[in-house]
C-alpha cells in the first residue's frame, strides 16, 4: 500500500458491540488515509500499526503511524481544521469521525508517541449478546432504502464531505454549487430528496431554489433538507422554508445528517429510474 507496511495486532475473541458498520468503516478508512498521507508527506515509506483489544467494558482499536505526529492535538477534531495544503483535504474528516464515534457512545483521542508518530485510539462500549425472542424478530425494522439525492452547496469542502457520507450509505448523489445548476438538474432528472444550503452565501439566490421547487416540483417540496451556517440575524421568520422541512445547523454530525435523510426517504415510495 504505497510502500506502507501494515502491522496488525488483532485480539482474538473480542466481545460484540452494537454499531453501524458503514459508519465505522468510514471512520477506520479515514484513520488509515490520514496516516498514509502524513507518512508520505515526509518520507517515501512508512509503517502503520493497527491494534485491537478490550479495556474494561469497552473495545478499542488503535491506529499508530511512523509519521511526524500531530501539530496540535487539541484542535484536530475541530470542524475545518486541517494542516494539509490547499486542495489536499477538507478538514472535515476527523470532525465527522468524532461525531460518529460520539453517537455510538464511544470516544476518540490522539497523542504523539515518539519515536513513532501519531496514535489515534477509538473506544466503543461492548454489549453482551442477548437471546432474541421470535416475536422480536418479526418486528425487525427494514433498513431505509437508498435514494437519489441532489446536494447543493457552494462550498467544495462541504460538497466533498457530505457526498462521501451519502455515498457510503449507497445513495445516488448529484451535486450543484448554485441554484441555477440545481434547477437545471431538477428539470431533467428525478430525485427523491434535495439537500441544500439555505443561504447560498446570502445572495439573492437564497430563496430562488425554494420558491422554484414549490412552483415547479411541488411533490418534492416536502422532501427537502436544508443546511445553514450560523443562525441568520434579522431575517423575518417567513423567509425560512416551510412545509415542515428539516434544517440542519452547520457543523452537524454525520448521524444527524443521516437521521434527517432516513426520515425523509422512509416516507418516499420508490419510482423507476429514468435511463
- Is the model's pLDDT at 27 over the cut of 80? yes
Maximal C-alpha separation, the chain: 62
Q: For 6-21, how does the pLDDT look when each residue is reduced to its tens digit (9 = 90+)?
A: 999 999 988 888 888 8
Give pairs for 178-183: CB < 8 Å, separation 24+: 178/152, 178/154, 178/205, 179/152, 179/205, 179/208, 179/209, 179/212, 180/205, 181/152, 182/150, 182/152, 182/209, 183/209, 183/212, 183/216
Burial of 118 (0-12, 13-18, 19+ CB in 10 A): buried
- Is the model's pLDDT at 41 over the cut of 60? yes
- Decide which of 48 and 248 is more confident: 48
- C-alpha dist (Å) from residue 21 to 25, 100, 258: 6, 11, 14
**Domain limits, the chain:** 4-125, 148-265
CATH topology assigned to domain 4-125: Heat Shock Protein 90 (3.30.565)
For residue 55, what is the enclosing H or E element? strand 46-55
CATH architecture of 148-265: 3-Layer(aba) Sandwich (3.40)
Q: For 79-108, how does the pLDDT look when each residue is reduced to its tens digit (9 = 90+)?
A: 544 554 433 444 446 778 888 888 888 999
- Decide which of 167 and 255 is more confident: 167
The pTM assigned to this predicted structure is: 0.51
Sheet with 193-197, edge to edge strand ranges: 172-176, 148-152, 193-197, 224-228, 246-249
Of the listed ranges 39-48, 70-79, 232-241, 252-261, the least confidently predicted one is: 232-241
Question: Mean pLDDT across the chain, nearest whole number?
Answer: 78
Please count the other Cβ atoms lying within 10 Å of the Cβ belonging to residue 143. 9
Q: For 111-138, how does the pLDDT look when each residue is reduced to its tens digit (9 = 90+)?
A: 998 888 999 999 999 865 554 444 444 4
- Decide which of 267 and 110 is more confident: 110
Q: What is the pLDDT of residue 189?
A: 93
151 near 165, Cβ under 8 Å? no
Amino acid at each position: 500500500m504505497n510502500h506502507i507496511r501494515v502491522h496488525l495486532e488483532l485480539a482474538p475473541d473480542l466481545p460484540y458491540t452494537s454499531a453501524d458498520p458503514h459508519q465505522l468503516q468510514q471512520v477506520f478508512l479515514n484513520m488509515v488515509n490520514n496516516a498514509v498521507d502524513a507518512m508520505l508527506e515526509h518520507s517515501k515509506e512508512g509503517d502503520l500499526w493497527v491494534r485491537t483489544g478490550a479495556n474494561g467494558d469497552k473495545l478499542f482499536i488503535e491506529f499508530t503511524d511512523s509519521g511526524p505526529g500531530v501539530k496540535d492535538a487539541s484542535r484536530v477534531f475541530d470542524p475545518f481544521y486541517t494542516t494539509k495544503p490547499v486542495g489536499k483535504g477538507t478538514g472535515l474528516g476527523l470532525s465527522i469521525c468524532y461525531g460518529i464515534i460520539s453517537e455510538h457512545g464511544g470516544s476518540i483521542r490522539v497523542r504523539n508517541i515518539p519515536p513513532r508518530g501519531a496514535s489515534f485510539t477509538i473506544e466503543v462500549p461492548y454489549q453482551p449478546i442477548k437471546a432474541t425472542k421470535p416475536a422480536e424478530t418479526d418486528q425487525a425494522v427494514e433498513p431505509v432504502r437508498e435514494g437519489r439525492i441532489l446536494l447543493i452547496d457552494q462550498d467544495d469542502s462541504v460538497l466533498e464531505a457530505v457526498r462521501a457520507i451519502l455515498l457510503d450509505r449507497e445513495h445516488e448523489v448529484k451535486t450543484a454549487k448554485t441554484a441555477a445548476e440545481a434547477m437545471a438538474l431538477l428539470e431533467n432528472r428525478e430525485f427523491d430528496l434535495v439537500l441544500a444550503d439555505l443561504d447560498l452565501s446570502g445572495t439573492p439566490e437564497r430563496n430562488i431554489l425554494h420558491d422554484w421547487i414549490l412552483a415547479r416540483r411541488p411533490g418534492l417540496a416536502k422532501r427537502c433538507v436544508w443546511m445553514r451556517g450560523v443562525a441568520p440575524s434579522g431575517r423575518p421568520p417567513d423567509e425560512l422554508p416551510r412545509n415542515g422541512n428539516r434544517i440542519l445547523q452547520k457543523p452537524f454530525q454525520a448521524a444527524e445528517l443521516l437521521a434527517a435523510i432516513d426520515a425523509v426517504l422512509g416516507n418516499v415510495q420508490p419510482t423507476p429510474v429514468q435511463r
